[in-house]
Amino acid sequence: MATLRLGDIAPDFKAETTMGNVSFHEWLGDSWGVLFSHPADFTPVCTTELGTVANYFPEFEKRNTKVIALSVDGLESHLKWIKDIEETQNVTMQYPIIADEDKTVANLYDMIHPNASETFTVRSVFIIGPDKKVKLTLTYPASTGRNFDELLRVIDSLQLTANYSVATPANWKDGDAVVISTSVADHDIPAKFPKGYQQIKTYLRMTPQPNK
């Protein structure tokens, strides 16, 4: 399986989850989506990650973003693990975990990296747009937990730049100034960006975030 690239259609699949069977594209509907994988159930870092996403669930909802986790363990194992997650992280799980024992989804999304582990999925992240295209991919080693503040920041950037002719600079966060796309001519800026702009270089023009 070739590695998924940005702009590729995210592979569709049917799967059993802790919240019933899903058909992935249908389940996503018109929402954005985050699909993230875990090496195994009952592992410490994964437990903290799933608890963090449960805590952040309202933030994903605010952004019209559905989250779905995956592990290559079975449904019964997932359901037992959820009890531990809820107990240790003081959360209620509001999103599904895919049971992928036959590794169908893991292989579709190239989540198993043999040089890291021949059997377990690495910590993959896919952000998928309402058009079902892959907008971001990240791969973490099993030993490093993910930063979900960063994933929310990326979703904010993706949603902003999808609707306006802007890009977000280094370390940008929601509310900061943004870069005007180089495709926008100087004479078109006043109409497109009525809040004004600062030209630092001919190719580097900053403007207040247009949707704030």
How far, in Å, CA of 26 to CA of 120, rounded?
27
In Å, what is the CA distance from 27 to each residue of 48, 95, 129, 157, 206?
25, 12, 13, 23, 38
65 Cβ neighbours under 8 A, 6+ residues apart:
31, 32, 33, 34, 155
Task: Give the residues across from 138 on adjacent strands.
Answer: 125
Q: In what order do the strands lie in the sheet with 178-180?
A: 166-167, 178-180, 204-207, 198-201
Q: Is 173 in the active site?
A: no
Catalytic residue among 46, 50, 97, 122: 46
List, as one string, the DSSP characters of 127-182: EE-TTSBEEEEEEE-TTS---HHHHHHHHHHHHHHHHSSEE--TT--TTS-EEEPT
Catalytic residues: 46
